[in-house]
Amino acid sequence: MSVVHAVDLIIKKRDGGTLSDQDIRCFIDGVTQDKWPDYQISALLMAMFLRGLTVSETAAMTLAMAQSGAVLDLSSIPGIKVDKHSTGGVADTTTLILAPLVAACSVPVVKMSGRGLGFTGGTIDKLESIPGFRVSLTIDEAIRIARLNGLVVMAQTDQLTPADKKLYALRDVTGSVESIPLIAASIMSKKIACGADAIVLDIKCGKGAFMHDLRQARQLAETMVAIGRQTGKRVIAVITGMDQPLGRKIGNALEVEEAISVLKGETQGDLLDVTLTLGSEMLMAADAAVSREQARNQLTRALENGSALERFRMFLSAQDGDTRVIDQPERLTHASHRSVWHANQSGFLAAIETAELGRLFVDLGGGRLAKTDSIDRSAGMVLHARVGDPVSSGQPLVTLQADHQGKLDAVYQRLPDIFTISSKPVSRPPAVIDIIR
């Protein structure tokens, strides 16, 4: 086999050529084994960014990154294992509801989740706001718990996709993050390494999402579904709206409260609608339902008969979480300071600057700008109106909470720019926009 030199691959892609599977394996091996210097890795990434990647190149890149570290073997867990991934948004609490709900319908869920960065909340941060809950599990522990309960959620391990970690760090500092093939390969490599048989993707689109534009969101969704075809995985992409926060509560402990409320049947709305849509796709992907209607009926029954809530209780217990928070939410961390912002006129809530609201959440102490930042799990906000709702002058629109009054005061001054109130009725933005199979 001839030796492949880094510079030859850089020139090949720079000039618009198509990299072979061997070329891409050589590149990923060079990254993983520190054979390529950062400047050559960055040069090839920029060539990929500018010239693009074919579906075959993207699939080869995905598999090579997935195989650069450990790949979970879930074969000892009965049934078709289905994973779910969200591209991230504000008040996106779906995993906490979806995982026990799907598991209650006899579809095993083995999920590896991350911590929040920026205004995108992390499932692990939310779970860690539950006293005692343990997210740092060994692979053997996770599989044992999944066999027992049909459900486990654990923190990402450094053993998975080491190539992706290095590539993303270099893309972040060289202006090559916004490449749909590279984004798709990054996400899908982690999902494939986690060992699921099928993957349901929640592609967020709107003001509070990475993908603001529906055309780009569809392109990302179609790319990841195509990767699934190329790599033998069943992949479904659901494009969901993020022009307003998905739930009414933003914050780690607050979102746990809202998830429990949904599982108890006390809260409905967009958060539940998106959860049921994603759950229906997961059940169909696992061959547990033959139609969306049948799947939705199964999920609805699991909510109504309490089996989803009971599976959540088992989930907390198996990972050493305090199950008493289900009936005693005061056991979650609560902030010592609160401020309420009121509508300054009557009319209809026409728009929410969702990304800016997420940034305010970070400034309250609830999110992090760097992975090493500590966070206040009690910080956050509660929304009292949704886009399209009628509002009256003086009506509370949002309650802020944090551990320090100074943080509230600084954020409070920026709230007038967040909410737009119109004198005329406005349409509610869709929660589910499209499904791509």
Question: Which residues are CB-contacts of 28 (< 8 A; sequence separation ≥ 6)?
Answer: 61, 64, 65, 68, 163
pLDDT tens for each residue of 414-426: 999 999 999 999 9
The token pair at 315 is: 């989930």
pLDDT of res. 119: 61
Residues 257, 148 within the same domain: yes
152, 325 contact by CB (below 8 A): no
Residues 177, 311 within the same domain: yes
Question: Which residues are CB-contacts of 259 (< 8 A; sequence separation ≥ 6)?
Answer: 93, 96, 97, 126, 312
Distance, CA of 134 to CA of 141 (rounded, Å): 11
Residues with a catalytic annotation lie at 85, 164, 171, 186, 190
pLDDT of res. 323: 98
Query: How are beta strands 109-113 and 151-155 bridged, if at all?
Result: parallel
Is residue 64, in this structure, part of any structural domain at all? no
- DSSP codes, 318-380: HTT--GGGGT-GGGS---SEEEEEE-SS-EEEEEE-HHHHHHHHHHTTSSBSSTT----TT-E
pLDDT tens for each residue of 405-416: 999 999 999 999
CA atoms within 13 A on the CB side of 119: 23
DSSP letter assigned to residue 19: P
Between CA 317 and CA 243, with CA 110 as vertex, the angle to 5 degrees is 100
Across 254-264, average pLDDT: 97
Residues 44, 184 within the same domain: no
Handedness of CA 111, 116, 121, 125 (dihedral sign): positive
Q: Of the residues 274, 296, 326, which one is the last residue of a structural domain?
A: 326
Residues 263, 299 within the same domain: yes
Residue 299's domain comprises: 82-326
Residues 15, 152 within the same domain: no
Long-range CB contacts for residues 222-228, cutoff 8 Å, separation at least 24: 222/436, 223/55, 223/58, 223/180, 223/181, 223/184, 224/184, 224/187, 224/188, 225/436, 225/437, 226/55, 226/58, 226/59, 227/55, 227/58, 227/59, 227/62, 227/184, 227/185, 227/188, 228/188, 228/199
Residues 90, 112 within the same domain: yes
Is residue 68, in this structure, part of any structural domain at all? no
Q: Of the residues 277, 292, 326, which one is the last residue of a structural domain?
A: 326
Residues 224, 320 within the same domain: yes
pLDDT band at 116 (very low <50, low <70, confident <90, very high): low
Q: Is 311 helix (H, G, I), strand (E, B) or coil?
A: helix
Query: How are beta strands 419-422 and 347-352 bridged, if at all?
Result: antiparallel
DSSP run (H or E) holding 137: none
Distance of CA 191 to the CA centre of its chain: 12
Percent of the chain with pLDDT over 90: 82
Across 350-358, average pLDDT: 94
Is residue 437, in this structure, part of any structural domain at all? no
Residues 28, 121 within the same domain: no
Is residue 428, in this structure, part of any structural domain at all? no
pLDDT of res. 301: 98
pLDDT tens for each residue of 180-218: 999 999 999 999 999 999 999 999 999 988 888 999 999
Is residue 279, in this structure, part of any structural domain at all? yes
pLDDT tens for each residue of 1-15: 466 799 999 999 999
Percent of the chain with pLDDT over 70: 98
pLDDT of res. 117: 59
Residues 152, 198 within the same domain: yes
pLDDT of res. 276: 98
pLDDT of res. 93: 93
pLDDT tens for each residue of 36-93: 999 999 999 999 999 999 999 999 999 999 999 999 999 999 999 999 999 988 999 9
pLDDT of res. 115: 74
Compute φ and ψ for 122, nearest 5 degrees.
-105, 135
183, 192 contact by CB (below 8 A): no
Is residue 181, in this structure, part of any structural domain at all? yes
Residues 256, 392 within the same domain: no
CA distance to 11, 344, 397, per residue, from 416 (Å): 51, 8, 11
- Through-space distance between the first and last CA atoms of the chain, rounded to whole angstroms: 39
pLDDT of res. 157: 81
Instruction: Write down the number of H helices and E strands in the chain.
Output: 16, 13
The token pair at 119 is: 């205004």
Distance of CA 148 to the CA centre of its chain: 25
Across 363-372, average pLDDT: 81
Q: Give the number of domains in the chain.
A: 3
Residues 167, 314 within the same domain: yes
The token pair at 215 is: 């055309």
Please give the model's pTM, rounded to 2 decimal places.
Answer: 0.93
Question: Which residues are CB-contacts of 87 (< 8 A; sequence separation ≥ 6)?
Answer: 187, 201, 202, 203, 204, 209, 210, 211, 220
Is residue 109, in this structure, part of any structural domain at all? yes
pLDDT tens for each residue of 292-306: 999 999 999 999 999
Domain with 406 in it: what CATH number?
3.90.1170.30
Q: Is 261 helix (H, G, I), strand (E, B) or coil?
A: helix
The single residue listed with the structure tokens 């450990």 is 70
CA distance to 190, 209, 420, 426, per residue, from 387 (Å): 35, 17, 9, 8
Domain with 33 in it: what CATH number?
1.20.970.10
pLDDT tens for each residue of 388-401: 999 999 999 999 99
Q: For all residues of the chain together, what is the average pLDDT?
A: 93
Is residue 31, in this structure, part of any structural domain at all? yes
Residues 192, 295 within the same domain: yes
